[in-house]
């Protein structure tokens, strides 16, 4: 029984997080975590959900972009999409007129993610599996058939991708069982926002330690003296055995990054995240060479597979931080995960925001079971914001993500939350 | 007497060019050349105009993005903007929430261009000079004060930029006089669109020769046998002394580009334009190394100064094709022109579309008078489309751009054209 997509709705949802300075960093002092929320209707009972994440203004632009992409899915049967996933993705990203205002980047690409992810949510629900399990039950050939290799074939061929997946195929079941029991490792960013006082920082570190966290990420970059003071507080609380990661959110130029990071080296950071513009591949490479053994991490603002390809070709990153909705949805993320495997770069997904933890956990499970079979240097970001708005929020156990069990991509939001936070008409925005 | 910007209007203007296959290429089979047209009103009589160029669908997204940027100019005095041009640009591109849906790329950045260019149009009109002359009458320090060096300081410092400009300052006047007499060299793309028949191609070549053109650009990349046949026709018509350039509009992967171009090498192309994704710096570098002495050109889809910086750092391009409204307007283009001078890469602006010839000619004049003082390997693209919609269309003489004489950025469109082609309500779109 094939389903056909019959219609779609798009909603502009915003949470007034700036009122509490949750999520504040050197580049983003007052984000209102927001989502463009897409519902795909079908001729059956199933609906598919997808979202793209923004931090407030501009969410309406993404919503409008989604509306222009809806004609590429309405009227299509899920079977026809499923039969040629790469072709579907090429089509929705390839409309020549819309491509001009990208290509494959920015608002139009983030909108693509919402729609593409909603299609995957539908596919997973139709098969009554969580997304990670849907992927895990696909053959290497089927998985490779989801990827549009345009512009990355010089770094990864379909044959190489198939080979990477085939190597892990026989042992998938044992890793799946292991994950179901123990979960996937994570780290927390909840303690280290820039807007918090030292006292709040200290309390949050203590609370995080009690919850069993062993990896802590802290925002830096606004003022080196403040950062030194804050990092001292954090090291006092978490000790020197646990890992500490820094995140500059693109605030530095290349030379400035090198100089600044060297002043924080005494705190033995494991990685520095987003030291400069996400577009600066050669800049990241220069920083990476200069600050070894501190690793460079980036990805949450990396626009597409082509930038990730080059970051790996240039040996610019030690950690690949895929995001579920900055790139064009599941298909493109699969491409990056496989490139990372080929280049030997561990994938540590970006999460937080709204729904990103719910989203990216599926890729971590997939990576472990089907692609690399390794936890080494691999962690998923965890932030304890806004999970209450989802019907199937992430389940954490001892600082680890437990594999989702509900069918779909875990991104369906509660109807009452949608109504409350719809912008600008919802009660949360009234006054 | 200072002017204050008091309001703004934004219009979605589209020309149904796809009906004639004007502008057709391997990636864009049916563009409808379009513009988001911005008018800035003041408390005086002057109004400023700016536009950003798209090829149809998605123009509405850019228009909506412009609306979100209007609050960054309305209420400001021209004097206050003029006093700190780099600060103004940092502010309009730096809103942290809007920055998330870029940063500095795609729809939000193209919208920025329309607004920033409209501000420059106002400044030039206020001083009763064409834009190029406004720039030429600025000191090196004033010009450098227009540039936000964020993310490019590792390649070009303010001091280096000042030095480049200072070197040409004493001799500006003689080059200005020369340009006013002889104009700036150009090449034509009007003959070589993919959608045209061989016969039409032949006729257009003959017509172009009669008009005095010496450099011809042709679209390639859809089918190598067709391209060989078409290039043979063109070489038969234009001979082997005149220069022939090829444009693939991003249609190839890296290895594919190298192989394909080698099959066209017998036609001795001067450059290959957009051989692959505009995001692929390392890919362009690999292609450049493989196809020497054919040069690589790109830029019309290069999202910002950071990508241009790396194309130059990686020695990936022999020709730098700035565009007036893909990047964030005049300020960012100045940065790229100065980086190109430092790296010794000639700037050959991208034009065509709607209003791009009118726009970029100003930069060519500025480059010659203030930056490089050279015509060597430097030409501005010329396409003979849609000029009739402007109050001050480009003036060509013997295949050269004559310096604009009217005050402003030459981008003010005729009121009757705006009414006729407004989308979707104008008569041109009625049926």
Looking at CA atoms only, how far is residue B221 from chain A in angstroms? Answer: 15
Per-residue pLDDT averaged across A271-297, rounded?
A: 98
Q: Tokens representing B383?
A: 């396409």
Establish, for the pair of chains A and B, how many residue pairs have beta carbons separated by less than 8 Å: 192
Q: A130 in helix, strand or coil?
A: strand
Taking the C-alpha atoms of residue B12 and residue B56, their distance in angstroms, rounded to an integer, is 10
| pLDDT at residue B24 is higher than 80 | no
Q: How confident is the model at residue A197 (pLDDT cuts 50, 70, 90)?
A: confident
| B65-109 confidence digits (pLDDT tens) | 999 999 999 999 999 999 999 999 999 999 999 999 999 999 999
What whole-number distance in Å separates Cα of residue B303 and Cα of residue B83?
A: 27
ipTM over 0.95: yes
Q: Identify whether A82 is a catalytic site residue.
A: no
Tell me if A96 and B314 make a contact (CB, 8 A cut-off). no
**Residue pair B6/B13 in contact by the 8 Å Cβ criterion:** no
Out of A95, A107, A278, the one facing B61 most closely (by C-beta) is A107
DSSP per-residue string spanning A174-239: HHHHHHHHH-EEEEEEEEE-TTS-HHHHHHHHHHHHHTT--EEEEE--S-HHHHHHHHHHHHHHHT
Distance from chain centroid for Cα B19? 24
When pLDDT is averaged across residues A22-34 and rounded to a whole number, the result is 81
Model pLDDT for residues A154-179, shown as the tens digit of each residue:
999 999 999 999 999 999 999 999 99
pLDDT band at A348; cut points 50, 70, 90 = very high
Of A55, A95, A310, the CB nearest to B100: A55
pLDDT band at A221 (very low <50, low <70, confident <90, very high): very high
Q: What is the DSSP letter of B412?
A: P
pLDDT, tens digit, 9 for 90 and up, residues A387-429 = 999 999 999 998 899 999 999 999 999 999 999 999 999 999 9
- pLDDT number for residue A189: 83
Q: Give the tokens for residue A2.
A: 């094939």
* Confidence check: pLDDT of A328 > 70: yes
Chain B residue numbers touching A64 (CB-CB < 8 A): 60-61, 64
- Report whether the peptide linkage leading into residue A424 is cis, meaning its omega lies within 30 degrees of zero: yes
- pLDDT classification of A241: cutoffs 50, 70, 90: very high
Considering only the beta carbons, identify the residue of A31, A64, A281 that sits closest to B310: A281
Strand ordering across the sheet containing B34-42: B5-14, B34-42, B47-54
Query: What mean pLDDT is predicted for residues B159-175?
Result: 98
Q: For residue B27, what pLDDT is reported?
A: 79
The answer to whether the Cβ–Cβ distance between B102 and A106 falls below 8 Å is yes
> Based on the number of CB atoms within 10 Å of its own CB, is B236 exposed (0-12), middle (13-18) or buried (19 or more)?
exposed
- The pLDDT assigned to B190 comes to 72
Rounded to the nearest angstrom, the minimum Cα separation between B270 and chain A is: 24
Per DSSP, the residues of B118-152 read HHHHHHHHHTTSBHHHHHHTS-HHHHHTT---TTT
Helix (H, G, I), strand (E, B) or coil at B226: helix
Task: Return d(Cα A318, Cα A72) in angstroms, integer.
Answer: 37
When pLDDT is averaged across residues A52-81 and rounded to a whole number, the result is 98
Residue A81 has which token pair? 């999409």
Least confident interval from A7-11, A187-191, A247-251: A187-191
**Chain A residues lying within 8 Å of B30, measured CB to CB:** 96-97
Task: Inform me whether the pLDDT recorded for A1 exceeds 70.
Answer: no
Best residue of B57, B62, B90, B100 to probe chain A, by most A CBs closer than 10 Å: B100
What pLDDT does residue A431 have? 73
The structure tokens 């819309």 sit at: A98
Of A312-316, A325-329, B198-202, B257-261, the one with minimum mean pLDDT is B198-202
pLDDT band at residue B1, thresholds of 50, 70 and 90? Answer: low
Instruction: Determine the pLDDT at residue B149.
Output: 98
Contact residues on chain A for B14, CB-CB shorter than 8 A? none
Distance of alpha carbon B359 from alpha carbon B409, whole angstroms: 6
Which residues of B does the annotation mark as catalytic?
A: 219, 350
Indicate which of B26, B33, B90, B97 best probes the interface with A, i.e. most A CBs within 10 Å of its own CB. B97
- pLDDT value at position A23? 67
* pLDDT above 90: residue A29: no
Specify the 3-state DSSP secondary structure of A359.
Answer: helix
> Which neighbouring-strand residues pair with B186?
B380
- B106/A108 Cβ within 8 A: yes
Q: What is the mean pLDDT of residues B230-250?
A: 95
Q: What's the pLDDT tens digit per position in B29-44?
A: 789 999 999 999 999 9
Can you read off the two tokens belonging to residue B236? 């038969």
B286/A98 Cβ within 8 A: no
pTM for this model (two decimals): 0.97
Question: Residue A26: what pLDDT?
Answer: 74
Mutation test of the interface with chain A: which of B23, B72, B107, choosing the one with the most A Cβ atoms within 10 A? B107
| B107 vs A contacts (CB less than 8 Å) | 61, 65, 101, 106-108
Q: Are A149 and B68 inside 8 Å of each other by CB?
A: no
What are the DSSP E strand ranges found in A33-116? 34-42, 47-54
Q: Beta-carbon neighbour count of residue B9 at 10 Å?
A: 13
Of A101, A149, A278, the CB nearest to B58: A101
Cα gap B218→B200, rounded to integer Å: 13
Q: Do the beta carbons of residue A13 and residue A53 sit within 8 Å?
A: no
Residue B350 with chain A: CB contacts under 8 Å: none
In angstroms, what CA-CA distances link B51 with B36, B125, B163, B326, B347? 5, 16, 32, 11, 22
Per-chain mean pLDDT for chain B: 96
Give the dihedral sign, CA A131/A303/A377/A411: negative
């Amino acid at each position: 029984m094939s389903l056909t997509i019959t219609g779609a709705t798009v909603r502009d949802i915003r949470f007034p997080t700036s009122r509490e300075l949750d999520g504040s960093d050197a580049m983003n002092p007052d984000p209102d975590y927001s989502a463009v929320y897409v519902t795909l209707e079908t001729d059956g009972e199933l609906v598919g959900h997808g979202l793209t994440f923004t931090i407030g203004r501009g969410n309406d632009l993404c919503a409008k972009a989604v509306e222009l992409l809806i004609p590429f899915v309405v009227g299509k049967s899920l079977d026809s999409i499923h039969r040629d996933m790469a072709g579907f993705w090429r089509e929705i990203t390839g409309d020549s007129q819309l491509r001009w205002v990208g290509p494959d980047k920015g608002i139009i690409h983030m909108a693509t993610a919402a729609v593409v992810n909603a299609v995957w949510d539908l596919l997973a629900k139709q098969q009554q599996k969580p997304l990670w399990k849907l992927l895990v039950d696909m053959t290497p050939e089927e998985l490779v058939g989801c990827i549009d290799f345009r512009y990355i074939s010089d770094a990864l061929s379909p044959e190489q991708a198939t080979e990477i997946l085939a190597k892990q195929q026989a042992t998938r079941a044992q890793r799946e069982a292991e994950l179901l029991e123990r979960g996937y490792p994570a780290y927390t960013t909840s303690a280290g926002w820039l807007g918090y006082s030292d006292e709040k920082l200290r309390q949050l570190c203590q609370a995080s330690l009690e919850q069993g966290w062993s990896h802590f990420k802290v925002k830096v970059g606004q003022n080196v003296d403040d950062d030194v003071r804050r990092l001292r507080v954090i090291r006092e609380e978490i000790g020197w055995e646990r890992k500490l990661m820094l995140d500059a959110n693109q605030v530095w130029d290349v030379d400035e990054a090198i100089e600044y990071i060297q002043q924080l080296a005494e705190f033995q950071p494991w990685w520095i995240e987003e030291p400069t513009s996400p577009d600066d591949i050669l800049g990241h490479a220069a920083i990476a060479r200069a600050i070894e053994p501190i690793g460079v991490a980036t990805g949450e603002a990396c626009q597409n597979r082509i930038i990730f390809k080059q970051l790996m070709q240039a040996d610019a990153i030690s950690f690949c931080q895929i995001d579920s909705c900055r790139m064009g949805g599941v298909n493109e993320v699969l491409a990056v995960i496989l490139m990372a495997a080929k280049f030997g770069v561990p994938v540590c997904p970006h999460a937080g925001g709204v729904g990103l933890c719910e989203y990216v956990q599926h890729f971590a499970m997939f990576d472990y079971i089907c692609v690399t079979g390794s936890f080494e240097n691999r962690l998923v970001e965890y932030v304890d914001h806004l999970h209450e708005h989802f019907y199937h929020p992430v389940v954490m156990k001892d600082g680890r993500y437990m594999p989702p069990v509900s069918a779909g991509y875990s991104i369906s939001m509660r109807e009452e939350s949608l109504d409350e936070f719809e912008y600008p008409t919802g009660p949360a925005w009234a006054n």
